[in-house]
Structure 1
Amino acid sequence: MLYGQVELHNVEELVEVGGRPGKLMQRVPESVRSGLLELGSEQIRRAASIEIRFAAESGEAAVTIASYGGSSRVQLYYGDYWIEESEVGAEPTTIVIKQPVPGFQFDPPWQGQVPRPSFGAIWRLVVHGFEVHLLDITGAGLRPPEAYEKPALTYLAYGTSITFGLSAATPDLSYVGQAAWRLGLDAVNLGMPGSAYCEPAITEHIAGRNDWDIASLCVSVNMLNGGVSVEEFEEKAGMMVRRIAFVHPAKPLVCIGLFPSFADFGWTWPGRNVQASSSEYREALKGIAEGTGLGNVSYVDGRELLDDWRGLSHDLLHPGNSGMIRIGERLAQRMRPLLPGAQG
C-alpha cells in the first residue's frame, strides 16, 4: 500500500491502537483479522518481513517506529544490498538513513555499474517481530518505488511460525525469504505463529488478492498439535486449497506437507491432546492437492525440503538457520519450473 510518499509492502492496513502513538502496520485488513480465532487475530498483527520502501532525492531520510509486545528486528537495504541491522522496542526509535561509506552504490563513476537484479536504487527497511507502529517518515524528495524498481513476480506464503520465520536469526533467513531471494521474487509472508488453522477469513483474503503470482500453503502443525482430527483437517485444508486454486486457476499453488518433527516419533508436545499422526496429515494434504484436478496445484512433502534432522532447532519442530536455508533452497528448485519469469 502507498502511505504518503513511501510504499508499505506486506501491509494491508494502518490501524490506530488506543494508547499507542502512530499506526500499526498490519498484514491484513481489520475486517479479516476480526474473523480469525483469538490467537490468530493477535499473531496476524505481528510484523513478518514487512517493508518500508522509498527513493530519496537527497540520499537521506529518517523513519520513526516503535514495537510493542517485544523487540522487533529491522534490516536496512539499499536495493538488494544489506547495510545494517538494529532492534526496536516500545520506546519510539528513529532510524536515520544515509549513504554509507564507501559510495560505490551512490557516486559516479560506479553507481550505474552496480548489478540490480531484483530491486532498483531504493531504500528498504525490513521489519520483523512484533506489533510495529509507524510514527513518522521525513526526508527531502521522497517517492515510492516505480514498478521497474521491484521484482516483477510475487510469492505469497501462508503457514505457521515456521513460515513466519520465528526461529530464523534474521528475516532474510526465513525459508520464505530464502526461496524468494533465489528466484528474484517479492515475498508476502502470512505466517501465523501457533494459529494457522486454515480459517475461512484468511482463505477468502488470499483468494481475493490479485497481487501474487505463486503461493504456498504450509499446513499445519498447529492443527496437528491443537488436537484437530485428520477428518477436520482434511475438511478445512481442502476448503482452503480448492477455494484459492479455483479462483486463481492460472497461478501455481504449492501445498507443503509437514516438515520432520518430534511428532514423527509419535511424541506429543507437553500438555497437548493429539488426535492424528504426521503421516496422516501429509497423506490428507497430498490427497487434497491431487484431488483438485487442477494443473496449478502441486504437493511437496516437507521431509523432502528439510531432509536433514540437523536443520531443526532444540525443540525438534522449528528449523534453525541452516534448516531454513535448506528449505528455501529446495523449495525454490520446486517452484522455479512453475514460474517461467523467475530468476535462475
Structure 2
Amino acid sequence: MDIAKYPSVSLHNVAETVPAEWANDADRLCRVPATVGERLNEVACERVRHPTGSEIRFVPRSEKDTIEITLSAVERTRVRTFWGSFQPWEPTAIGPEPKTLELTIPDRLTELTTTETGRFDPHVCRILFERFHAVAVHDISGSCRPPAATELPDKRYLAYGTSITEGAASSATHMNYVSHVARNCGYDALNFGCSGSAYCESSMAEYIATRDDWDVATLALSVNMANTGGFSPDEFDERADTFVNTIAEAHPEKQIICVTLFPYFDDVTESGDSEHANAYRDALRSIVAASPHDTLSLIDGTELMPLSGLTADLLHPGDKGMKAIGDSLAKVFDSDQT
C-alpha cells in the first residue's frame, strides 16, 4: 500500500492500493485493507477490492491549471467527473488500456456569484467510480492539492450492506440510496456494501469498529444471508448480534441504524417464503431491543420503500426505490438531530 504516492489528491473511500493485475505500474483502488479482506468470504474479499463509492478528489491550484489523471479498469466501465456537487454532462468510458483525463475547472463555475452550491466546494474535482469493475491509477500530474476540510462535508455517513447498498440496479453510482442519504443530510459517504456477500463477518465489524472517521451509520442486514447465503435465522441472529454490538460498543456516541430486510420476492411471490424473511426481521429487531447501546436503533426496511420501487427481479431497488430509501433514511437522521 502506498496512498502517500499521490500526495496531490485525496483517495476517498480507499483504504489502500495494490498492484493492478491487468496493467503494469498501476495501483488498484481497494476499499478495505488486504489484511481485512483476506478474512472475509471469497466473494466479499473481491468485492471490497472494487471501488464502490470511491473517488479521486483534488483542487487545481489555479483556475487555469489542467490536471491529468491516467486510469484503467480491468474491463470497460465508466467514471463520472463531478465538480463539487455539479455532475458531468455524460460519463467517461475507461477500460484495460490506460486513458488520461484532462481536467480543468469549467469556466462558468469560476464565475459563480453564489455560495449556495451544495455540500462540496465547486472547485473540488471528484472522479466517481462505478461498482462493476476494478479500477487503477497510473499517473497524476498537474498543479493541484487535496481538498481542505472546509471544502468538504463536515460529517460522514458509513453504510454496510449488500448489493443494494452498493447500488447494483441504480442507473449510476450517485443514484444509490447511500448517495441520496448523503446529499439529503449534507454528509460525505463511506460505502462498504458487499454484493452477494454481506455475511455479517466479524472481521468487517472489527474493521468498521476501528475506524473513527464516520459520524452516523446504517447496517442493512442482510438479504444475502436470507436469500443465497444459506444461513438459518438462528445463524443470522448469532452473526448479526456480534456484528452490530461490536460496532456499537466501539462507538457508543455515534448513531447507528440497523435496517431490516427491504421488501423483496420472498414477501410477495407464490414460491417465496415470507415466514423466513420475517424471521430475519424479527431477529434483528430483537438484537437491537436487547442491546445495551442507546444510540443503536432499528428501522423496518419494508417501510422505507414501496414494492413498486423494485426492479423486475423483485430484489434490487431501481432508481425510484433507491430514492425512496434515501429520502426515508435521511428523515430519520434529521429527526434524531433536532
For residues 96 and 17 of structure 1, the distance between their equivalents in structure 2, rounded to whole angstroms, comes to: 22
Q: Which residue of 1 aligns with 2:78?
A: 73
How do 1:1-12 and structure 2 match up within 5 A?
A: 3-12=6-15
TM-score for both structures, normalised by structure 2:
0.93
How far apart in 2 are the matches of 1:328 and 1:81?
19
2:209 is aligned to 207
Q: In 2, Cα distance between the equivalents of 1:171 and 1:151?
A: 18
User: Secondary structure at 2:235's aligned position in 1?
Assistant: helix
Q: Deviations over 1:228-266 (max 9, x none)?
A: 001110000010111100110000010000000001136
Q: Is 1:264 aligned to 2:270, yes or no?
A: no
**Aligned residue among 44, 52, 55 for 1:51:** 55
**Residues 264 and 277 in structure 1, CA contact (< 8 A), matched pair in contact too:** no
- Aligned counterpart, 1:286: 285
Q: Do the aligned residues in 1 keep the contact of 2:20 with 2:136 (CA within 8 Å)?
A: no
Decide whether the 8 Å contact of 1:230 with 1:276 is kept in 2: no
State the AA in 1 paired with 2:176: S
Q: How does 1:97-116 map to 2 (within 5 A)?
A: 97-100=103-106, 103-106=107-110, 110-116=111-117
1:12 corresponds to which letter in structure 2?
A
Per mean C-alpha deviation after superposition, the further-off stretch among 50-59 and 191-200 is 50-59
Q: Which sits farther off after the overlay, 259-268 or 297-306? A: 259-268
Measure the CA separation in 1 of the matches of 2:275 and 2:261: 13
Equivalent AA in structure 1 for residue 233 of structure 2: V
Match of 2:98 among 66, 74, 92: 92
Check whether the contact 2:71–2:98 (CA below 8 A) recurs between aligned residues: yes
1:333 is matched with: 331
Matches within 5 A, 1:234-245: 234-245=237-248
In the TM superposition, what are the counterparts of 1:1-344 in structure 2 within 5 Å?
3-21=6-24, 22-57=26-61, 58-68=64-74, 70-84=75-89, 85-100=91-106, 103-106=107-110, 110-120=111-121, 121-129=123-131, 130-139=133-142, 141-225=143-227, 226-265=229-268, 277-306=276-305, 308-339=306-337
* Partner deviation per Cα, 1:81-124 (whole Å, 9 max, x = no partner): 11242222222222221233xx3311xxx335242331112111
- Tell me the SS of whatever aligns to 2:160: strand
Q: Is the CA contact 1:197–1:223 (under 8 Å) kept in the aligned structure 2?
A: yes
Identical pairs, percent: 37
Where does structure 1 differ by over 3 angstroms across 4 or more consecutive aligned residues? 265-269
Secondary structure of 1:105 counterpart:
helix
The number of residues matched between the two structures is 328
Deviations 1:292-315 (A, max 9, x none): 032100100111111x21100010
TM-score normalised by structure 1 residue count:
0.91
Once residues 311 and 274 of structure 2 are traced to their aligned partners in structure 1, the CA distance between those partners, rounded to angstroms, is: 24
TM-fit CA distance, 1:71? 3.1
- Paired with 1:72 and 1:49, the residues of 2 have a C-alpha distance of 14
Runs of 5+ unmatched residues, structure 2: none
Distance 2:297 2:216 in 1: 11
Question: Would the aligned equivalents of 2:60 and 2:104 in 1 still touch at CA under 8 Å?
Answer: no
Asked if the contact 1:56–1:143 (Cα under 8 Å) also holds between the matched residues in 2, the reply is yes
Conserved 8 A contact 1:229-1:275: no
* Paired residue type of 1:24: R
CA contact under 8 A between 1:65 and 1:136: conserved in structure 2? Answer: yes
Post-superposition offset of 1:280: 0.4
Distance 1:266 1:229, change over 3 A: farther
* RMSD (Å), alpha carbons: 1.8
Alignment check: 8 A CA contact 2:51 2:130 kept: yes
Q: Which amino acid aligns with 1:65?
A: L
State the one-letter code of the partner of 2:134.
E
- Paired AA for residue 88 in structure 2: I
Structure 1 letter corresponding to 2:231 = V
